[in-house]
């Protein structure tokens, strides 16, 4: 009787599995059936393993190649655009610490077309821009920002991700512990500031070899940063803001002359806010909102290009005038956009980096990250490996710029761009979006100097026609664009 009962149970399970498989065939077609069959029979990758998704994956574009590979691995494993974005950001903290890191911050636009998504198919901004400590103290000879990136990326992932966040931390941890070849992008940044940077003992131990700054291809090892990433993986991101790791940051930041208090860390909360948006023909265009006011400047540039797509000089001038008016205070973003003032005298805006991720369903994330200065304060927190970002009380905030185009009627993605290049970042985003709206291609021509752009575009929208999708990184940069059709 026992054997008969076990046989019957096994048969019932097989019938249930076949029924589930047949149901998914009816819903989603043969390619999905093959994938589900593999998973049921144990013959193929499971969700979370590379190769789980075959065929069209989506795309990833960023300023540093290893970060792009990390994002693509998430898409291949069945992750969403938010999973890919988290992997890119955490990897950039290791491979491009000149422009992104745990000590810095940034802002992202997330668009998930499904009306059942957390924001019902409307883009929203995840804001984690660097902020100044409440009180720098007498020893702040080089004021540091309150670290924001870990919490910001965690919020993005918690809202829109599907794969375990710990796995992304583990991947970044391994890169930090065992080292990666110095990329061309990082080598260029190192060459620009090698003198001041190597004056800090912590930075010198990481970014030099035999007293000489690292060059392209040389091993970049960050064992202390690997340990910090491991603690985040084991204890959770909250430990960096209200646990033992937070107390270590309080002590270490004081040692490097940029004290950050426990109270600063506890109150360092990212925010979800509406994007800036405007209509363009049948589509809508979203931009990062203040305090990432590079998005406001990008909208101002886009307004000019919407009337005259070739007048880049006027678009740039209007963008810089609008952001100067907004930063002067006393006006709303809409009022600032209406300004006709001339742009201010030259302002030195800090460096940033950007990236875009898109999954096979048209879910998309476009981000801009910064250290509020190239390599932030230039000082590494002892024992933690965290490069401190510069406080916005000591430098002009960067023009963090990103934008996205979607169609609200059919709930579908069309294009997204991130920009960098200091005062050229807003125009880079506006020009890249306008170009793809005209050509249905990602960046058919480079954006104006000194801007740089990363672009993903689906000329016939996604989810609809994945064959119309493409991705492009700026040909003058050292990044990578990768996907699969």
For the chain, give every domain's residue range. Answer: 2-41, 58-132+271-373+390-484
The 10 Å Cβ neighbour count of residue 45 is 17
43-46 contacts, C-beta under 8 A, 24 or more apart: 45/77
Distance CA(162)–CA(82), nearest Å, equals: 8
Is pLDDT larger for residue 204 or for residue 13?
A: 204
The 10 Å Cβ neighbour count of residue 382 is 16
pLDDT number for residue 12: 43
For residue 49, what pLDDT band results from cuts at 50, 70 and 90?
confident
Residue range 384-413: mean pLDDT, rounded? 97
Handedness of CA 246, 252, 256, 261 (dihedral sign): positive
pLDDT number for residue 53: 87
The residue among 128, 73, 125, 124 whose CA lies nearest residue 102 is 128
pLDDT number for residue 38: 53
For residue 42, what pLDDT band results from cuts at 50, 70 and 90?
low
pLDDT number for residue 13: 42
> What are the tens digits of pLDDT across the range 92-137?
999 999 999 999 999 999 999 998 999 999 999 999 999 999 986 5
Residue 160 parent element (H or E): helix 149-160
The residue among 350, 332, 204 whose CA lies nearest residue 276 is 332
Distance CA(109)–CA(404), nearest Å, equals: 8
Indicate the burial class of 134 (C-beta count within 10 angstroms; 0-12, 13-18, 19 or more). exposed
User: Is residue 138 over pLDDT 70?
Assistant: no
> What are the tens digits of pLDDT across the range 290-333?
999 999 999 999 999 999 999 999 999 999 999 999 999 999 99
Residues in the chain: 485
Percent of the chain residues topping a pLDDT of 70: 90
Torsion angle (degrees, nearest 10) of CA 380, 382, 386, 392: -60
User: Is residue 352 over pLDDT 60?
Assistant: yes
Mean pLDDT of all residues in the chain?
91
212: which strand partners? 209
The residue among 260, 221, 218 whose CA lies nearest residue 105 is 260
The 10 Å Cβ neighbour count of residue 234 is 11
Q: What's this model's pTM, rounded to 2 decimal places?
A: 0.90
For residue 415, what pLDDT band results from cuts at 50, 70 and 90?
very high
User: Is residue 14 over pLDDT 50?
Assistant: no
> What are the tens digits of pLDDT across the range 176-196?
999 999 999 999 999 999 999
The 10 Å Cβ neighbour count of residue 165 is 20
Distance CA(175)–CA(222), nearest Å, equals: 8
Distance CA(367)–CA(369), nearest Å, equals: 7
E-strand stretches of 215-311: 219-220, 271-274, 276-280, 283-287
User: Is residue 11 over pLDDT 50?
Assistant: no
Distance CA(128)–CA(90), nearest Å, equals: 14
Residue range 465-477: mean pLDDT, rounded? 94
For residue 478, what pLDDT band results from cuts at 50, 70 and 90?
very high
Q: Is residue 112 within 8 Å of residue 119, measured between CB atoms? A: yes
pLDDT number for residue 51: 85
């Amino acid at each position: 009787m026992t054997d008969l009962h076990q046989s019957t149970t096994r048969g019932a399970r097989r019938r249930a599995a076949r029924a589930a498989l047949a149901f998914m065939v009816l819903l989603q077609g043969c390619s999905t059936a093959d994938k589900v069959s593999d998973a049921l029979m144990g013959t193929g990758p499971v969700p979370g393993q590379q190769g789980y998704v075959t065929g069209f994956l989506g795309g990833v574009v960023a300023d540093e190649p290893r970060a792009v590979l990390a994002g693509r691995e998430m898409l291949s494993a069945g992750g969403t655009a938010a999973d890919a974005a988290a992997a890119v950001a955490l990897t950039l903290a290791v491979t491009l610490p000149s422009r992104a890191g745990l000590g810095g911050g940034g802002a992202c636009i997330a668009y998930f077309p499904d009306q059942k998504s957390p924001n019902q198919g409307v883009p929203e901004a995840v804001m984690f821009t660097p902020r100044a400590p409440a009180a720098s103290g007498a020893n702040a000879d080089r004021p540091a920002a309150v670290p924001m990136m870990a919490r910001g990326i965690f919020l993005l992932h918690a809202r829109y991700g599907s794969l375990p966040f710990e796995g992304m931390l583990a991947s970044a941890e391994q890169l930090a512990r065992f080292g990666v070849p110095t990329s061309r992008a990082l080598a260029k940044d190192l060459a620009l500031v090698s003198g001041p940077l190597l004056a800090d003992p912590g930075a010198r131990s990481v970014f030099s070899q035999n007293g000489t700054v690292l060059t392209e291809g040389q091993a970049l090892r960050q064992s202390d940063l690997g340990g910090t990433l491991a603690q985040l993986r084991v204890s959770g991101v909250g430990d960096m803001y209200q646990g033992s790791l937070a107390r270590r940051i309080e002590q270490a930041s004081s040692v490097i002359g940029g004290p950050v208090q426990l109270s600063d860390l506890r109150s360092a909360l990212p925010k979800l806010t509406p994007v800036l948006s405007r209509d363009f023909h049948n589509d809508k265009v979203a931009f990062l909102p203040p305090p990432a006011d590079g998005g406001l400047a990008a909208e101002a540039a886009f307004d000019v290009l919407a009337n005259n797509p070739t007048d880049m000089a006027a678009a740039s001038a209007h963008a810089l005038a609008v952001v100067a008016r907004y930063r002067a205070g006393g006006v709303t973003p809409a009022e600032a956009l209406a300004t006709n003032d001339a742009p201010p005298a030259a302002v030195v805006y800090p460096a940033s980096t950007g990236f875009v991720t898109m999954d096979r369903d048209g879910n998309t994330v476009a981000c801009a990250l910064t250290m509020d200065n190239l390599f932030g304060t230039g000082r590494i927190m002892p024992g933690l490996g965290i490069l401190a970002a510069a406080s916005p009380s000591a430098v002009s905030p960067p023009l963090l710029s990103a934008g996205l185009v979607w169609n609200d009627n059919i709930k579908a993605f069309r294009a997204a761009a991130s920009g960098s290049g200091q005062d050229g970042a807003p125009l880079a985003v506006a020009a890249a979006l306008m170009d793809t709206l005209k050509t249905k291609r990602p960046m058919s021509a480079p954006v104006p100097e000194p801007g740089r752009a990363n672009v993903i575009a689906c000329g016939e929208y996604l989810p609809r026609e994945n064959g119309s999708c493409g991705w492009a990184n700026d040909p003058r940069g050292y990044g990578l664009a990768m996907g699969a059709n």
